Amino acid sequence: MISGTTTVFGIFGQPVAHSLSPAMHNAAFAALGVNAVYVAFPVTDLGQAVAGLRGLGIAGVSVTIPFKEAIIPLLDEVAEEARTIGAVNTVVNRGGRLWGTNTDWQGALAALQDQVDLAGQKVLVLGAGGAGRAIVYALRLAGGRVWVTDAEAGRAQTLAQEFGVTAVPWVEAPQLAAAILINATPVGMAPQDQAIPYPPELLTQVQVVMDIVYKPLQTRLLREAAARGCRTIDGLEMLIYQGVRQFELFTGRSAPVTIMRQAARSAMPLSENGSSQTA
């Protein structure tokens, strides 16, 4: 039961009503008996929202689109990895001082390492935006051999120079014969869910395919990959694992990963997860 001693956490975004994070975190609080609540904050003025964290004593927030970059100069301290990636997705209120970090890269790394040893693997990342930057950061730390491409060639070149990886033109990328393919673009997201960012006939040369899109959960890319014998990782896994790390930063306790995964998947609409919400 929420009381005067309940600790408040939340998520800053716009729009944010669709977020699965409240379901994940509140299920974890309940499972561990933590007197806390996690709510969605639809932010219209980021500066005022950040001031509200201090003024109201909100213990921490997740940060999502479109504020991951804009929030950086409003914080008191930012972790090195977040500055390198160029985005903050987690803010912890330390007695009125706001510390920001990035757990997206940790979410991507955990989701991938569940399926494959990344060291020495040839990885092609489609997309050099915020998600792509976090994923490339993670891959480099894990010892992957990384190629990145983007429909905006300059963005891929910039990322490649900053992270010490190789940029490749979008039209040439499918010829790389990478062992691991990661889609970090919105291609395939509903309502354009029949779109695919990679030629299906070339998926036979790929061993593992990860798609960060989770609406729909089984994108056309993942369906085509599975049909050709690839191991697949859906977009919820990165979301779940970044939330797991956030929970640990918020509470100082080990996260109940299975419970958070079940809560996130149960919160997906039937039309998007393709299975029972109680599965």
Tell me which residues are annotated as active site.
Answer: 68
Residue closest to 131 by CA, chosen among 183, 60, 79: 183
Tell me whether residue 71 is exposed, middle or buried, using C-beta atoms within 10 angstroms of its C-beta: 0 to 12, 13 to 18, 19 or more: buried
Strand segments, DSSP code E, in the chain are 7-13, 36-42, 60-63, 77-78, 90-94, 97-101, 122-126, 145-149, 166-167, 180-183, 208-211, 231-233
Residue-level length of the chain: 279
As beta bridge partners, residue 78 has 100
Distance CA 13, CA 21 (A): 11
Residue 260 identity: M
Other Cβ atoms less than 10 A from the Cβ of 39: the count is 16
197 within 8 A of 220, measured Cβ to Cβ: no
Residue closest to 64 by CA, chosen among 242, 250, 252: 242
Distance CA 190, CA 6 (A): 37
Distance CA 180, CA 112 (A): 10
